[in-house]
Structure 1
Amino acid sequence: MIHTLSAASAAGSEIFAAIALLIISLVVLLILRHYLPLRTTPSYLLVPVFFALWLPAFIVLLVPIDLASSAATDDDAARGIWFPERLLLVSWRITYWLTFVLTWFILPILAEYSDAGYREPKDRILYSLRQNAQYQAILLGSGIIGLLYFFISYGIHYESFKGLVMALAYCWGLVLAIYLMGHGLVAIPREIFRKASIPGRLKRLQAHAPGLHEKMEDALLTLEDLEMQVSELSRRKTGSARDFQDWIEELADMCNMPESRPTAAVPRSDVDSRVLPTVITEKYLADLTRRLIQSRHARSRYVEEWHRLLQDAAKAQAVLDSAASKKLDFGRPSPDASTLGSITLLTPYTRYLLHFHVLPSFRIFLGGFFALASACIIWSEMVKVALPKLSVIRLSVVHHWTGDKGQVGLAGQVIAALWILYMCAAALTSVTEVKVWRGRALVRRNTGHESAFWYASQVARLSVPLSYNFMTFLSPSIYTKTIFYRFLGKLIDLTPLGKWFDNLFPILVLIPVCATLFGLYGKVRRMLGFDLELVDDEEENETGYGTGSWREGRVLIERELNGTSISRRRADPIFRASGARATPILPVPASRSESGARTPFATSPGYHDNPTRGGEQSLRPGPAADPEDDNFFTSFGHRFKNTIDGIDTPKWIQEIGDGFKKPKWMGGNEESQASGSGAAGSNIDIRRWFGGDGSIRL
């Protein structure tokens, strides 16, 4: 029960909460500014997305306040931030129902509205309502069974209906949150450990480069095809196209093809014009607009990822090269770098010490710390029902015990907020890593509107289940007294089914944890042949079979950094107007310097193709592949083959056949027999025995 204190004693807590909310608001604005241009983004996007991020952050602050208010310490000095009961109840009602409405109604409708493709707002809102009506109908159909169960167990009245809605929303959010959190609890420390190894980080970037480059090329070609459709459409001045002339001109202005696409001036064949339908309809133009906007954002996404990969690879290579000179210089900062990133404070030697020695050691320590935190969360999920006293989270949050009565002070509040932040970070990190979300992505300063709405809805959807799941780690004598439990927890525990689901389902966090820890996603994908990029399983496929090896990625990165990449030459108007076709980039074996050290970004002449006198490419075999990519049997086979190829043919084998003369009906003569050797027998073609010149005709 919340302690009855005077309203004046809570003034300090309320002032602290107001300052914290202002700081949260500033952080949310900075996050929006990082992913969206604030000046050009419409207000119907900024306002809902702002509250979709602000309300979960307030929940992270509100849960510790609720704990300290219901389990306040007897010592005033150790008492944390607390609210009166009425203020807590109003805060939870406003926060929960605003989050609920944003998650299930406002954000999905606005997301489809921004992705509709129509010009008129009325058509866009009708399209959005139709799309969301289908989704809501599916949810309503799946909730009928739950509605009948609730009515039978609790009776037919308003409270049972409200309990059903809140319980189903919580259960669906908990299913998604547990899966994503389980993946993130392994992915976060593993990624930190990986970054501690500079050579390993560089090799992973090189292994990722071919696949990313291919996706970027596909995105560019897809966008180019759509722009050519718009170009063909803008040339059509008769028929049904005249009714949508303004719309077509807007699409042409969006493509900006005369300036950005020199091939727009190249005449197209009649086959290309057949892509357009005979009758231009409003639905076709809306679909074309939608695909064009999505392709533009996809192009921006992959170009930005490719640019970031090049920067990371160049930085990692510079750190490796600094081991000899003990000096590290990254050159002039990028024009896109932030103000803080463009400030140079360290000398080359201190920068070398920081990046080569200090940061790898710090990443190892940080990865171990987060791995320990992940293990504590998983352990607490496993024992919270059977052995609640062994929960690590419970012992770290509740420090004051008077018999069986626990108390939460200021230190417990800070620790509780950190636990909730880490759980939410693990789940939200997985949202960006698990790539099954219809191509949605967060792009710096250029995130698509539909993607921004979708990611904001996921943040709002996951905050409430994770916060309540954290509270169940504590003793029932503590969390059952909170306003949060009386507002939401009672409705979840209203029936035995809901109580058992809330207690036992989080144990299934072991499934995504084991799947991520042992790389089961990649194994299942390769076994079933699915082309789904569920997780980053590069550690299971370091050679990159099927997507290009890390050596091919090294060549791509080296060419791009040196300004000799095919993509840059294709951007040349003269190259594109000539109609030349780019040759494929083939993987090149690793070159080695004179000292025998492998050079990831080799720029020596021996690394590139060696021209010969006849203008043909040299056919000399390149250096052998690194032994780290070959197993024992492969290495043994290569060595055995090289040994056999190096044995000279004995003379007595070469002289076989010199004593035999070829009959005239087989095309032989004495001159050829006199001058022939064992190699003359290679001219025999059995197809000549049956007439003809020996060629095969189909």
Structure 2
Amino acid sequence: MIEPTASPSQAPSLGVALVALFCISVVVLLILRHYLPLRTTPAFLLVPVFFALWLPASMVLLVPIDLASSAMTDNIDARGIWLDERTLRVSWRITYWLTFALTWFILPILGEYSDSGYREPKAKLLDSLRANAQYYGIVFGSGALGLIYVLISYGHFSESLKSTVMALAYCWGLILVIYLMGHGLVSIPRRLFRNANISGRLRRIQAQAPKIYEKMEDSIVDVEDLELQVAELSRRKGGSASLFQDWIEELADMTNLPESPPGRASILRGSGNPSPLPNVITAKYLAELTRRLVRAKHARSRYVSEWNRLLEDAVKTQAILDSAASKKLDFGRASPHAGFWDRHTIFTPYTRYLFHYHFVPYLQIALAAVLSLASVCIVWSELVKGLFPQLSVIRYSVVHHQVAGKGQVGFAGQVIAALWMVYMCAAALISITEVKVWRGRALVRRNTAHESAFWYASQVARLSVPLTYNFMTFLGVIYRDTVFYDFLGQLINLTPLGKWFDYLFPAFILLPVCATLFGLYGRVKRVVSFGVVDALDNEEEEDDVADRGSSAAFGAWREGRDLIERELNGTLAAVRARRADVVNSSGGGNGRTGRSAPVLSIPRAGQTPTPFGTSPAAGSAATPSRSRRAQANTSTRTVGRAEPLPADEGDDENFFEALGHRVKNTIDTLDTPKWLQDLGQGIKKPKWMGGHEGQSGSGSHNVGRGGGADIRRWFGGGNDEGRIRL
């Protein structure tokens, strides 16, 4: 270790470190502003989430400084940015223990607190503690077992408790890091390679459209069902409901239903179905109803945002593809929510065409090639660091100088080390966003749910320490001289089990890498067919559309293409436009409750989602307000849920009826093959079939339109019906 000094040469390094921390703070604030409205978000969410992102980001700065500061050499100028041992130790202690507290205590409790449906803070806190009781039971049980093992192996109690807690937290985080990072190391370069193909990118966007649209409509229907329950509840004035009248009024203010919805008030009671409300209204029931309503509204906001973003991507990609003919590219008027660079540009239509059609694809291919090489180097370093650390590629890219037989990290090595860590963090964090987690958590632009923000922030904090220490083990023996190893590494290597786990377990990174590279998730899902393996196979579904060309994939692509065209032409936007009228008239559904309600990204009435200035088609058909589902009939199937059946019919159809309906719908949507249409070319139709002597088979297209005879009359069919009645 270096000795703490008061050398004046430390002042420039300290100034550079403070400036870097300030830049990190600005970047974290911009990230928070992208996903959360800063003015309306409460401080109990912003402060912990800010530190949960800022502390891991500061580790990217601390690691290169620690590596340069711990080299035993008299050449201080060759160290780059360096700090004394005392400053580094205090920095690591503050960073580690704050991250530990946020990961295991603060963020989980606050996440369940924000997700609780109770009104009073005390009730919300108790509900949060009850929800985390099982989680803490598992954590403390594992800690007790680990403590017994360390006591048996180490034989002392002074450091056993702290070392057990730190080692177990590191091992659990390392398991997640290896799995998520292994997936991301393949996913990031592959995504860049695919996006370089403009036509393939458009096909993947169109193939995703039916799935996203269906989820959006399902979320809208779920919100409507819960709003109907609230409307039914608000009509109860006596009994147990009178004890919670204020709470019920708050729920009514959160909904978007008018005070007297015509034709909707009697749906629950007039449909013949029993009321979904219990006979006795309790606080627990109201809390669960509130929680479900808030979650459903955020889910609706999430899928509406995804659908609007998909439309924008489709329009932009189609414009880039069409610009190949005219050599000019114009995206039209920018969206009001577009970024600064989208609203202000220095490109002309021709230079914009050159940039997006030629330069960007080649840039993506080059970047994908570089990141692919970086992924190979990281995987290789994980495999050889335990047995052959001298073969680590990352070690030679960071340690450039050899002074007195010791490795020395200069400024260039510090920059390269920071870049390695940024890429490893990006690979792990991108995988988190691709995993389908419980409760439908997602990051939504300017409208992320509070519980989702807490959960994602806790995952970032949980992965930061094991990822940081895992990177330092790539550098050979030089990392053993760092302050971070003296603070954490010695406790991890306290027992033989911890030492071997740290060196051998990262070799299992080959499992997620091979599973993602060779499409194992999709194959297992197709074999099992239970939807269990549905976490990281989105890109494999894109493979079906872009590469395999199966009939189902082609049907999804064609269906998505027609769906996007109808949406942009305004034929599917009428329902959401009218829904937006209700949302805008109710002021976002916040009312006077003070709860965080999501803001829908739905256009107002009379407008359609027309990204980049696309003009909507006039004269859209008026659709009844708050329809159960927008019916978008495409060439392959009907997107969306059918209208609810009348009360006397129900949904109790047997297997043969359901099979008959499916076969009929399949046959109705089939197009006549061209070879069958051309089969009768050149064959004359006799007079008794309503033709003329010189009329060929091609005239069959006019049968039933003129006044001639028609064979369908023999079976009772008319000229204009287009059907044969048997």
In the other structure, the counterpart of 1:503 is 503
Distance 1:185 1:275 in 2: 48
Distance 1:383 1:32 in 2: 38
In the other structure, the counterpart of 2:558 is 551
Summarize the alignment of residues 626-641 of structure 1 with structure 2, pairs less than 5 Å apart: none
Preserved contact between residue 266 and residue 577 of structure 1 (Cα < 8 Å): no
Offset of 1:158 from its aligned partner?
3.2
Offset of 1:642 from its aligned partner?
8.6
Structure 2 runs not aligned, ≥5 long: 582-621, 638-666, 687-711, 717-725
Distance 1:31 1:339 in 2: 15
Alpha carbon RMSD of aligned pairs, Å? 3.0
Distance 1:581 1:396, change over 3 A: closer
Offset of 1:530 from its aligned partner?
2.5
Preserved contact between residue 394 and residue 473 of structure 1 (Cα < 8 Å): yes
Give the length in aligned residue pairs: 615
Offset of 1:584 from its aligned partner?
5.1
Q: Secondary structure in 2 aligned to 1:545?
A: helix
TM-score for both structures, normalised by structure 2: 0.80
Distance 1:554 1:259 in 2: 39
Residue by residue, what CA displacement relative to the aligned partner does 1:551-609 show, whole Å, maximum 9, x if unpaired?
000011001111111663784796326979754523359xxxxxxxxxxxxxxxxxxxx
Matched, 1:315 2:363: no
Distance 1:256 1:619, change over 3 A: closer
Offset of 1:643 from its aligned partner?
9.7
> Paired residue for 2:624, among 573, 576, 593?
576
Distance 1:228 1:326 in 2: 53
Matched, 1:101 2:108: no
In the other structure, the counterpart of 1:688 is none
In the other structure, the counterpart of 1:628 is none
Identity %: 63
The amino acid across from 2:458 in the alignment is S
The amino acid across from 2:284 in the alignment is K
Preserved contact between residue 232 and residue 273 of structure 1 (Cα < 8 Å): no
Summarize the alignment of residues 207-606 of structure 1 with structure 2, pairs less than 5 Å apart: 207-258=207-258, 264=264, 268-270=268-270, 271=272, 274-402=275-403, 404-476=405-477, 478-532=478-532, 533-535=534-536, 536=538, 537-542=540-545, 545=552, 549-565=556-572, 568=575, 571=578, 575-576=623-624, 583=631, 585-587=633-635
Offset of 1:74 from its aligned partner?
4.7
Offset of 1:344 from its aligned partner?
2.8
Q: Secondary structure in 1 aligned to 2:32?
A: helix
Distance 1:39 1:577, change over 3 A: closer
Distance 1:581 1:126 in 2: 39
Offset of 1:240 from its aligned partner?
0.8
The amino acid across from 2:68 in the alignment is A
Residue by residue, what CA displacement relative to the aligned partner does 1:182-238 show, whole Å, maximum 9, x if unpaired?
000000001111110000000000111111111001000001100111111111111
Summarize the alignment of residues 175-190 of structure 1 with structure 2, pairs less than 5 Å apart: 175-190=175-190
Q: Secondary structure in 2 aligned to 1:549?
A: helix
Offset of 1:16 from its aligned partner?
1.1
Q: Secondary structure in 2 aligned to 1:145?
A: helix
Offset of 1:546 from its aligned partner?
8.7
Offset of 1:381 from its aligned partner?
0.6
TM-score for both structures, normalised by structure 1: 0.83
Offset of 1:646 from its aligned partner?
8.9
Matched, 1:152 2:168: no
Q: Secondary structure in 2 aligned to 1:438?
A: helix
Offset of 1:155 from its aligned partner?
1.9
Distance 2:555 2:274 in 1: 35
Offset of 1:132 from its aligned partner?
1.2
Q: Secondary structure in 2 aligned to 1:485?
A: helix
Q: Secondary structure in 2 aligned to 1:499?
A: helix
Distance 1:146 1:555, change over 3 A: same
Distance 1:368 1:292 in 2: 46
Preserved contact between residue 207 and residue 553 of structure 2 (Cα < 8 Å): no
In the other structure, the counterpart of 1:607 is none
In the other structure, the counterpart of 2:691 is none
Offset of 1:169 from its aligned partner?
0.1
Decide which moves more: 164-173 or 266-275: 266-275
Residue by residue, what CA displacement relative to the aligned partner does 1:605-632 show, whole Å, maximum 9, x if unpaired?
xxxxxxxxxxxxx9897486xxxxxxxx
The amino acid across from 2:323 in the alignment is S
Distance 1:531 1:362, change over 3 A: same
Offset of 1:71 from its aligned partner?
1.3
Distance 1:513 1:120, change over 3 A: same
In the other structure, the counterpart of 1:635 is none
Distance 1:177 1:209, change over 3 A: same
Preserved contact between residue 2 and residue 85 of structure 1 (Cα < 8 Å): yes
In the other structure, the counterpart of 1:203 is 203
Offset of 1:143 from its aligned partner?
3.2
Distance 1:647 1:151, change over 3 A: farther
Distance 2:260 2:203 in 1: 34
Distance 2:625 2:50 in 1: 47
Residue by residue, what CA displacement relative to the aligned partner does 1:237-261 show, whole Å, maximum 9, x if unpaired?
1111111111111111111311998
Offset of 1:267 from its aligned partner?
5.6
Q: Secondary structure in 2 aligned to 1:406?
A: strand
Distance 1:582 1:69, change over 3 A: closer
Preserved contact between residue 319 and residue 352 of structure 1 (Cα < 8 Å): yes
Preserved contact between residue 544 and residue 550 of structure 1 (Cα < 8 Å): no
The amino acid across from 1:63 in the alignment is V
Q: Secondary structure in 2 aligned to 1:506?
A: helix
Distance 2:17 2:258 in 1: 55
Preserved contact between residue 515 and residue 521 of structure 2 (Cα < 8 Å): yes
Distance 1:80 1:578 in 2: 64
Distance 1:263 1:121, change over 3 A: farther
